[in-house]
Structure 1
Amino acid sequence: MRLHPVGPLLTPRLAREDVSVGSDDIPAGTRVFINAWAIGRDPAVWEAPMEFRPERFVGSSVDVKGQHFVLLPFGSGRRMCPGMGLALRMVPMILANLLHAFAWRLPDGVEAEELSMEETFGLTVPRLVPLEAVAEPKLPARLYAGP
């Protein structure tokens, strides 16, 4: 969610009053676009920003719920994604079910080193080369018949 946000630009905001951000002055009434894609890759904010290191969040107060402005996969404030609660509950459950029910592998002849994480830009940020994976059903579990 940090390196590859679904929406690179958050919903536009309107500055209600004159404000200074860093060395920039933003007058009241200016439409402001927040670039979540750039924030997630900023070396001033993240140590080794291009590395996938989930352990960086262990013991950290940074979360995805919009209170820390260095990680905004769902936005923040009034214009926060209304589906955040559903996504944070359903995605782990669906992923766990898929991992439990299937054995996953890459197609024949494809090595993990060949996978590309390059993106193409638009309203959302899809992968340039889609990921293809082969799902092989695990043996069916026996139904519980009772005692």
Structure 2
Amino acid sequence: MSLEKILAISGKPGLYEMAAQTRGGFIAKSIVDGKKMAVTMRHNVSILSEIAVYTYSEEIPLGEVLESIKEKEDGGEAISHKSSKAQLEDYFSEILPEYDVDRVYASDIKKIIQWYNLLIKNGFTDFKKEEAEENKSEEE
């Protein structure tokens, strides 16, 4: 499972895996409890592989940020997303020192750390997989 199949649905807690296509949208399965739900066009859905974090020079894909957290934590869980704003910002600046403090809010940092911990708890640890596959196909 790559980040291309992982979804964040606005107004719904946690992360979801795209399970199947339907006529009016698709079926999403919760990563936490496995419950399925129908997702239609009126839902605001973000695919994790399409999310990037602003830095002063460029936008860094979320997969790279999650990979940096994984390297810092040796594959374990990061700090709690319920930590104070100052702790979250200090932690995030260790992970991504060049992040744009004016455009990346504390709520964004909290969400990224929460997603990372959720993915790690549920056995998802390969955040750069889709990039490796793209590089292979470019080389061939």
The answer, yes or no, to whether TM exceeds 0.5 is no
Q: Which has the higher strand share?
A: 2
Question: Shorter-chain TM-score category?
Answer: under 0.3
| Larger Cα-atom Rg | 1
Q: Which has the higher helix share?
A: 2
Using the size of structure 1 for normalisation, the TM-score is 0.24
Using the size of structure 2 for normalisation, the TM-score is 0.25
Asked which structure has the greater RCO (Cα within 8 Å, sep 6+), the reply is 2
